[in-house]
Amino acid sequence: MAGIAEDITERRRAESELEYQASHDALTGLPNRTVFQQHLEQSTVSARASTASFALMMIDLDRFKEINDTFGHRYGDAVLQEMNPRLRNALRESDILARLGGDEFAALLPGAGESDAVSAAERILESLREPIVFEGQTLDIGASIGIAVYPNHGENPVKLMQRADVAMYAAKRVHGGYALSSPDHAEYTPHRLTLISELRQGIENDQLLLHYQPKFDLKTMQVSGAEALIRWLHPRQGLVPPCQFIPLAEQTGLIRPIGVWTLGTALKQCRAWHEAGLNLNIAVNLAPENLLHQNLIGTIDAMLKSSSTLPTWLTVEITETAMMATPDQVRGILIALHEIGVRISIDDFGTGYSSLAYLKMLPIDEVKIDRCFVKDMVASDKDACIVRSVIDLGRNLGLRVVAEGVEDRASLDLLASWGCDLAQGYYFSRPLPPTEFLDWLNHSTGEHPHFPRINRCDLRGEGLERGDRSGSKRHSRMIEVGRIENACFDEQSR
Ligand code: C2E
Ligand code: CA
Ligand code: CA
């Protein structure tokens, strides 16, 4: 009898253990999404019966992916574990807190109205203000909170979740910490919401990739570096160009993890080139939001160390418009970056409204003349004059000048004769995936297998139509890449 009783107790214990595991998240010990959904449904039913209200909060951590990518998963786990006590303390005993997945948490506040929910959101944000210290490393974390209240913002669980989600993105967009669901959020159509959530998943599931486009030095006649250009390999849509998701990422805060991922990936690639004897500089595009990232310098510094790369191998490209948006803030950041040895490049030069005085005040190494002037400079005297003036200006200020979007031989010759330092464009190569980029370099080396050299003879010769030389497989891939580029520009011109 005693044996049987023990068996039963043991089985019950095992069963409840299994039940607990199925309903709770192992890392934080918090209820999971399934349990949270059940609570939400129950709350809706009982609130409907009693005409009470309740609030739903979506809590999404800021800078979590950066911490994971910069310091590793152990640090990310430590941050998530710390969320349980911190968020719990900011809530009432009767409130339900859950981890929905990744760095997403949710809370259900029975009986709460809008003002109660706002106070709770403020307490949560306050509880995250103190940085987390893990193994001697100080980790800054924040959150964006979206609030939807029953019945004002929705009368069923699906609607409430959707409204709270949208409010959370709105909060991310304005860096406001929290936002109450509002009719102003109508721009978040179901299509956009789907795209946002797919992009989130895409970032987590490694669907982003970088293509590399050579930057060609017209003085040494060598490829001196490459620009990393992002693409999203969408499970159904295939390769998506940056113009179709970078603006969305900028509006939803997703640009921050994207920026960190791009920097990390590009630096690792650069390290691999150097190991293979290719002395190339890597240029990474940073959005304004990346630049204003709380600890950009620390993050870049940590990445340079972890990828064993030197600061001088890295160029950050920042658009003129981004620089002008908050010139005072940006100035300090650029000075700090420049001081550690990273090169600074102004992208799309000529399309913004920068005062020339900024060129003097900011620690800039390079200007990239926008494609729109380079494109027509052979045919248009005005464009030619602009390009020439920027080259002269750059030279007089001691800056390197890059012409973007060089597509033909005639433009290249003009640029070289005017003393332009570097050229980039389809004439040399479209942006290519890493292995094809290496192939391209090898085809352009001639007699030096480890050091790319496109000699003058090559430039004078039949042009650099790489696709012609490299067999049909690569040629077709290049066409595929070409299609994306065009998709992007069609989009931009629209
Ligand atoms: P951008 O920085 O001005 O990049 C140059 C764009 O011009 C690239 O488009 C490139 O493929 C295209 N291009 C290069 N040579 C030629 C040419 O000869 N003719 C023509 N017509 N186009 C040429 P892509 O890759 O579609 O990127 C578009 C923009 O998306 C970039 O413009 C940049 O602003 C943004 N972007 C790309 N990657 C990233 C990234 O990792 N982070 C951020 N924040 N933005 C990125
Ligand atoms: Ca660029
Ligand atoms: Ca550009």
Span 9-21, mean pLDDT?
A: 80
Please check whether residue 198 is in contact with residue 191, taking contact to mean a CB–CB distance below 8 angstroms: no
Does 385 have pLDDT greater than 80?
Answer: yes
pLDDT value at position 117? 97
Does 202 have pLDDT greater than 90?
Answer: yes
Distance (Å) from CA 228 to ligand 2 centroid: 8
Ligand nearest to the CA of 230: 1
Q: What is the tens place of the pLDDT at every residue in 203-251?
A: 989 999 999 999 999 999 999 999 999 999 999 999 999 999 998 898 8
**Per-chain mean pLDDT for the chain:** 86
Q: Taking the CB of residue 421, how many other CB atoms lie within 10 A of it? A: 23
Distance (Å) from CA 328 to ligand 2 centroid: 22
Q: Where is pLDDT greater, at 217 or 15?
A: 217
Q: Where is pLDDT greater, at 188 or 319?
A: 319
Q: Is 92 left (phi over 0), alpha (psi -120 to 50) or beta?
A: beta
Identify which of 284, 485, 486, 488 to mutate to test ligand 1's pocket (most ligand atoms within 8 A of the CB).
485
Query: For residue 404, which atom of ligand 1 is closest to its CA?
Result: 15
Ligand 1 within 6 A of CB of 246: yes
Q: How much of the chain exceeds pLDDT 70, in percent? A: 88
Span 386-411, mean pLDDT?
A: 95
CA distance linking residue 367 with residue 390, whole number of Å: 9
Does 301 have pLDDT greater than 60?
Answer: yes
Ligand 1 within 6 A of CB of 489: yes
Ligand nearest to the CA of 286: 1
- What is the DSSP code string of 84-95? HHHHHHHS-TT-
Q: Where is pLDDT greater, at 190 or 478?
A: 190
Please check whether residue 229 is in contact with residue 425, taking contact to mean a CB–CB distance below 8 angstroms: no
**How long is the chain?**
494
Ligand 1 within 6 A of CB of 348: yes
Distance (Å) from CA 330 to ligand 2 centroid: 17
Query: For residue 229, which atom of ligand 1 is closest to its CA?
Result: 38
Distance (Å) from CA 283 to ligand 3 centroid: 11
Ligand 1 within 6 A of CB of 241: yes
> Is the overall model pTM greater than 0.95, yes or no?
no
Does 464 have pLDDT greater than 60?
Answer: no
Query: For residue 424, which atom of ligand 1 is closest to its CA?
Result: 15
Ligand nearest to the CA of 351: 3
pLDDT value at position 258? 95
Q: What is the tens place of the pLDDT at every residue in 424-463?
A: 999 999 999 999 999 999 887 543 333 344 433 333 333 3
Does 474 have pLDDT greater than 90?
Answer: no
pLDDT value at position 114? 95
Ligand 1 within 6 A of CB of 488: yes
pLDDT value at position 1? 65
Does 468 have pLDDT greater than 60?
Answer: no
Ligand 1 within 6 A of CB of 165: no
Please check whether residue 54 is in contact with residue 42, taking contact to mean a CB–CB distance below 8 angstroms: no
Distance (Å) from CA 229 to ligand 1 centroid: 6
User: Of 19-28, 69-78, 475-484, which gets the smallest average pLDDT?
Assistant: 475-484
Does 371 have pLDDT greater than 70?
Answer: yes
Ligand 1 within 6 A of CB of 213: yes
Please check whether residue 141 is in contact with residue 67, taking contact to mean a CB–CB distance below 8 angstroms: yes
Q: How much of the chain exceeds pLDDT 90, in percent? A: 64
Does 359 have pLDDT greater than 90?
Answer: no
Sign, CA torsion 424/429/432/438: negative
Taking CA atoms, 361 is separated from 25, 287, 322, 332, 405, in Å, by 52, 21, 16, 11, 27
pLDDT grade for 198, boundaries at 50, 70 and 90: very high
Q: Where is pLDDT greater, at 247 or 55?
A: 55
Ligand 1 within 6 A of CB of 350: no
User: Of 70-79, 117-126, 335-344, 355-364, which gets the smallest average pLDDT?
Assistant: 355-364
For atom 43 of ligand 1, the residue with the nearest CA is 285
CA distance linking residue 441 with residue 180, whole number of Å: 53
For atom 23 of ligand 1, the residue with the nearest CA is 405
Span 409-435, mean pLDDT?
A: 96
pLDDT value at position 450? 33
Burial 143-155 (b: 16+ CB within 10 A, else e): bbbbbbbbbebbe
**Omega of the bond leading into 241 within 30 degrees of 0 (cis):** no
Beta-carbon contacts of 489 under 8 Å, excluding residues fewer than 6 positions away, are none
For atom 42 of ligand 1, the residue with the nearest CA is 285
pLDDT value at position 222? 92
Does 119 have pLDDT greater than 50?
Answer: yes
pLDDT grade for 16, boundaries at 50, 70 and 90: confident
Q: Which one, of 360, 344, 426, lies nearest residue 393 by Cα?
A: 360
Distance (Å) from CA 468 to ligand 1 centroid: 24
- What is the DSSP code string of 265-331? HHHHHHHHHHHTT---EEEEE--HHHHT-TTHHHHHHHHHHHTT--GGGEEEEEEHHHHHHSHHHHH
Q: What is the tens place of the pLDDT at every residue in 66-92?
A: 788 788 899 999 999 999 999 999 999
Ligand nearest to the CA of 345: 2
Tell me the residue type at 61. Answer: L
Span 188-197, mean pLDDT?
A: 81
CA distance linking residue 103 with residue 62, whole number of Å: 9
* H helix count then E strand count, the chain: 21, 16
Identify which of 207, 261, 285, 286 to mutate to test ligand 1's pocket (most ligand atoms within 8 A of the CB).
285
Please check whether residue 465 is in contact with residue 407, taking contact to mean a CB–CB distance below 8 angstroms: no
- Tokens representing 103? 């760095």
Ligand 1 within 6 A of CB of 43: no
In degrees rounded to 5, what are phi and psi of residue 117?
-65, -40
Distance (Å) from CA 285 to ligand 2 centroid: 5
Query: For residue 242, which atom of ligand 1 is closest to its CA?
Result: 30
Ligand 1 within 6 A of CB of 345: no
